[in-house]
Structure 1
Amino acid sequence: MKYYLKKCWPTVTAASICMVVAYGLQVCTSLVQIQITQGLLDGDLRAFTIRIILLLLTWLAVVLCLIAETFFQGRAVRRMNNALRRDMAAGLLHKTHQEYHKQESGEYLSQFTNDVNQIEQMAWTPFFTIMGSAAQVVFGIVALASIHWLLLVISLVIALVMIFVPRLFSQRLGTVGTACAAS
């Protein structure tokens, strides 16, 4: 996977940058919405209007970044798939006549279509999903810390509780579920 990511690095990088910028701007929109609410509570119509315009411009930038990210991600996936197919074809060309005819032509065709699609679903798509999730977590942490450090600490503690508490009960629930299914 790393080989193909490096081979297609310009489009992968462009997609990643657009994704990170879009998620960063989404967090900014949340912070601007907090300021809008504060402006309403303070009764400051001028600040409210300026922040609404800023919010609209930020959302426009988010949409443009997401469009660019979709374009570059699609291009990157297509290029990685094509590079994979080229490498598979080169491997076929290096086979002897006897090695080539050990498999049916349908198997080779399956490798070029189904296997490449499976690699796309199990490698390329999760790669971009993980990158996006990591960017969202980092920007979320920064946003919480910018509001108040205690909010960040409380959120992290709650997240840890939500992760580890179900693990404490999963073994017991599995035992009870097995006993219930057996009776």
Structure 2
Amino acid sequence: MRIRRRRRGAAAALVALALAIATLGATAPAGRAVVPGSGEGVAPVLDAPVEPLRAVRLFDPPARPWLPGHRGVDLIAHVGAPVLSPGAGVVTFAGRVVDRGVVTIDHGSLRSSLEPVDAQVPAGTAVHAGEPVGVVGSEPGHCAPTTCVHWGVRAGDSYVDPLDVLRGFGPIILLPDR
């Protein structure tokens, strides 16, 4: 009995969340997607920063902001391949952090960070969606022996799953069993 009650409660919560998201999505301007929990409510729809889109590790947020987790997705790429701006915006950082190149782009309500990237544009540059911002760097990363680009997306101070704001891909909503 307890298990069934918990399932019903969880199912009801998921349905309520799905309805809330659907309602927000219905009122969102064209070309924009709802980002649950972003605090912003609505965020631009982004494109993949590398092609083809093949993830080797998915978003796995920590239970608390200070705990370990994976705050982005790792996309398979080869050294020297172009890294594209996921959306229109302004490059706010292009340089080295510790041992690898990083490019950060402010898209308005979202910010993308990409690494390892050998930047080809300086901070302050306005970029269009799909415009090259650099190439995949040769620094060994956490995907070794495979080469990848880590793509993190933040809405305010919170990381969001990049796949939830990827054009034609998200958000993913789980529905209860019938």
Name the TM tier (shorter chain).
under 0.3
TM-score (norm 1): 0.22
TM-score (norm 2): 0.22
Q: Larger strand proportion, structure 1 or 2?
A: 2
Of structures 1 and 2, the one with the larger relative CO (CA 8 A, separation 6+) is 1
